[in-house]
Amino acid sequence: MDAFYASVEVRHRPELRGRAVVVGGVGPRGVVSSASYEARRYGVRSAMPTMRARALCPHAVFLAPDFARYTAASRSIMQIFRDVTPLVEPLSLDEAFLDVSGARRLFGPPAAIARRIRERVAAEQGLTCSVGVAPSKFVAKLGSTRAKPDGLLVVPADQVLDFLHPLPVAALWGVGERSEQALHRLGLRTIGDLAQAPIGMLRTALGEAAAVHLHELAAGRDPRRVSPEQVEKSIGAETTFDVDVDDPTAIRRTLLALAEKVGARLRGAGQVGRTVSLKVRTADFRTVTRARTLDVPTDVAREMFDTVWALYTVLELGERIRLLGVRAEGLTAAVETPRQLTLGEREHGWREAEVAADAAAARFGRSVIGPASLLSGRDHRRNENPTRP
């Protein structure tokens, strides 16, 4: 997908069309998650500090991410893919590999299938995507990158090397900044240079595993198949405070808001987690993690919040907090894990309320629900902590 988070926000707020839009942390320690192409013209990029993005593009509209909205859009887009082939391997909310070998009799050649997908995504979702078509995952990925924005690039099998070899070595999977520098010192600047280099020279510079991996890719060889059953190992959310905090009220509300995000993502993915973990980073950058395994896997924010709050209250750090994180691990499919009521729990309770909140967020945006919406006055009275929201 093209600038996915930003594009979904523009679809939700059409008055932003044509304007520079940046999605990410909006505070002084925030990081850019997505930027519209109007913002990218000013040098704004993903993973850039928000403060730097503001300096480069001060007239941009800066928005906090709404993952419920992005998850709902992603689910609809992935269904379009699965209408073409069951062999869909999602890489993230906005990217996937499709093996269309078995779809050609029904939908035509791969290029026609790619055009059909792009047309459906645009017509049904009001979003654009860029597609690379090639014999392997690696080359298809490169093709989609080169086709951006809103483009299509087909690399036939007999043209793979002509496509690959002029590209810089940094285009290869597994070549980071240090590896690129090592290859440049050997005089290897293009993928073609690397393909012609003796494997022994690469082993000396990069080590056995990296040398073999890059040599194979440079020759256009990537035997990996599309794996549609790839399952996430964990789902989490974290936040860095603009100013270090030690106020229990702010910490409690933040943990609840993070648990809500994790719960919404779990339900959106149809998964539940058996282990809930807490991450705390103090002002001096010391990181502490704690985890607890539940009797029954959950996708309920309230249950995760109760767990991480209990973990936090026994830490007794005595320091200001820079970052908090909540994560669900040990994921399994929700449909394969029948939910059991705990002692004293009503048949319809927190989960039903959260599902209703998901539906409202998908239609109107998470902001209508409000942060930390699951904390009630009754909860305050039950909590023994004298400083609480």
Q: Which residue has the higher pLDDT, 233 or 336?
A: 233
Over range 293-301, report the average pLDDT: 90
- The answer to whether position 54 is within a domain reads yes
- The answer to whether position 37 is within a domain reads yes
On the question of pLDDT at 384 being above 60, the answer is: no
Q: Which residue has the higher pLDDT, 376 or 132?
A: 132
Residue given tokens 């395994």 in the structure block: 293
What was the pLDDT predicted at 333? 81
Q: How many residues does the chain have?
A: 389
What was the pLDDT predicted at 341? 46
The proportion of the chain whose per-residue pLDDT surpasses 90, expressed as a percent, equals 68
Domain end position, chosen among 21, 40, 65: 65
- The answer to whether position 168 is within a domain reads no
Q: Which residue has the higher pLDDT, 316 or 73?
A: 73
pLDDT band at 67 (very low <50, low <70, confident <90, very high): confident
- The answer to whether position 322 is within a domain reads yes
Q: Residue 30: which CATH number?
A: 3.40.1170.60
Catalytic residue among 9, 95, 229, 232: 95
- The answer to whether position 278 is within a domain reads yes
The answer on whether 306 is annotated among ligand-binding residues is: no
pLDDT band at 348 (very low <50, low <70, confident <90, very high): very low
Q: What is the 3-state secondary structure (H, E, C) of the chain?
A: CCCHHHHHHHHHCHHHCCCCEEEECCCCCCEEEEECHHHHCCCCCCCCEHHHHHHHCCCCEEECCCHHHHHHHHHHHHHHHHHHCCCEEEEECCEEEECCHHHHHHHCCHHHHHHHHHHHHHHHHCCCCCEEECCCHHHHHHHHHHHCCCCEEECCHHHHHHHHCCCEHHHCCCCCHHHHHHHHHCCCCEHHHHHHCCHHHHHHHHCHHHHHHHHHHHCCCCCCCCCCCCCCCEEEEEEEEEEEECCHHHHHHHHHHHHHHHHHHHHHHCEEEEEEEEEEEECCCCEEEEEEEEEEEECCHHHHHHHHHHHHHCCCCCCCEEEEEEEEEEEEEHHHCCCCCCCCCCCCCHHHHHHHHHHHHHHHCHHHCCCCCCCCHHHHHHCCCCCCC
On the question of pLDDT at 308 being above 80, the answer is: yes
Report the alpha-carbon distance of residue 97 to residue 389 in Å, rounded. 45
Asked if 261 and 237 touch (Cβ cutoff 8 Å), the reply is: yes
- The answer to whether position 57 is within a domain reads yes
What was the pLDDT predicted at 372? 47
- The answer to whether position 130 is within a domain reads no
Q: Residue 303: which CATH number?
A: 3.30.1490.100
Q: Which residue has the higher pLDDT, 365 or 249?
A: 249
pLDDT band at 365 (very low <50, low <70, confident <90, very high): low
Domain end position, chosen among 47, 65, 83: 65
Average pLDDT, the chain: 87
Q: Which residue has the higher pLDDT, 301 or 382?
A: 301
- The answer to whether position 209 is within a domain reads no
The proportion of the chain whose per-residue pLDDT surpasses 70, expressed as a percent, equals 86
Asked if 259 and 277 touch (Cβ cutoff 8 Å), the reply is: no
Q: Which residue has the higher pLDDT, 359 or 178?
A: 178
Domain end position, chosen among 65, 90, 118: 65
Domain tally for the chain? 2
Range of the domain at 10: 4-65
15 as an active site residue: the answer is no
Of 65-74, 154-163, 350-359, 378-387, the range with the highest mean pLDDT is: 154-163
What was the pLDDT predicted at 263? 92
What was the pLDDT predicted at 317? 84
